[in-house]
Amino acid sequence: MTPIGNRQSAIENIEIDLLLEAIFRRYGYDFRSYSKASIERRTRLFMSGTGCASISEMIPKILHDQDFFSRLVQYYSVAVTEMFRDPSVYLAIRKNVVPLLRTWPHFKIWHAGCATGEEVYSLATVLKEEGLYDRATIYATDFNDENLQRAREGVYDIGKMKEATRNYQQAGGKVSFSEYYHARYGNAAICDPLKERITFANHNLAVDGAFGEMHLIFCRNVLIYFNRELQNRALELFTESLVNGGFLCLGAKEDLKFSSVSSRYEVVDGKSKIYKKKG
């Protein structure tokens, strides 16, 4: 006989598969290839506050109650981010990417999985200080509309600015970081000139298509939540979107080894996970 614990686990796996299939067919959000352990953990966390006794009880609510789905999708969206996260990466961008960006009269950047926008504004700051911001068009995307709205507003907890300032300095900052935001009512609001070249838009790496003619794609600490199949889909999407000679920057625990596109890139900075698409 199958132990009760194993049988229950198998049933819950089926329930999660059905839940994700319902979400995909009803709303077009495809979480079926996300890391199963991550999805299970987040589903349980959400379920604990719904009054549902099982995952299967959530499925009718998902199908018929869009607000219920909207609340759930927030749990599936990972918004762990900060200003100048991993400062050495921005130093590497200044050293290895900026000189090539200077050779283009105009360039486009795609920041995929932008969460609440802190890293988008960090990169914009680097471009501003390098005299390149006015040449840039930046597309910042995420599948979480609530996060995107926060990113558009660009208003963050003032208490985080001390660490942000330290990160900025370590990232090669050239002025006082306070020049890039206004402090008000316990918050820090990003200055409008830093928003001018940024377009925030909804995009789901699991189901949506490519962005054309990108010169730099920033997608850090997103692929770690995908299984191998979805990682390859996203990387192929990036490769299709990049111009020859364009750059791809991944997160600290992500790389192109064993991916379906590894032969299409050369390593620019292995530590900072910056790659250049071959011609």
Domain extent, residue 117, equals: 87-277
Give the rounded percent of residues in the chain with a pLDDT score beyond 70: 96
Taking only the tens place, the pLDDT of each residue in 163-205 is: 999 999 999 999 999 999 999 889 999 999 999 999 999 998 8
Are 269 and 132 found together in one domain?
A: yes
Write out the H or E segment, with its range, that includes residue 275. strand 274-277
Residue 152 sits in a domain of what CATH number? 3.40.50.150
Are 141 and 209 found together in one domain?
A: yes
Are 48 and 99 found together in one domain?
A: no
CA distance 105 to 248: 20
Taking only the tens place, the pLDDT of each residue in 211-234 is: 989 999 999 998 888 888 889 999
Domain end (from 76, 106, 137): 76
Domain end (from 76, 95, 117): 76
Taking only the tens place, the pLDDT of each residue in 26-37 is: 887 788 888 888
In a domain, 82, yes or no: no
In a domain, 81, yes or no: no
Domain count, the chain: 2
Domain end (from 76, 102, 123): 76
Are 64 and 93 found together in one domain?
A: no
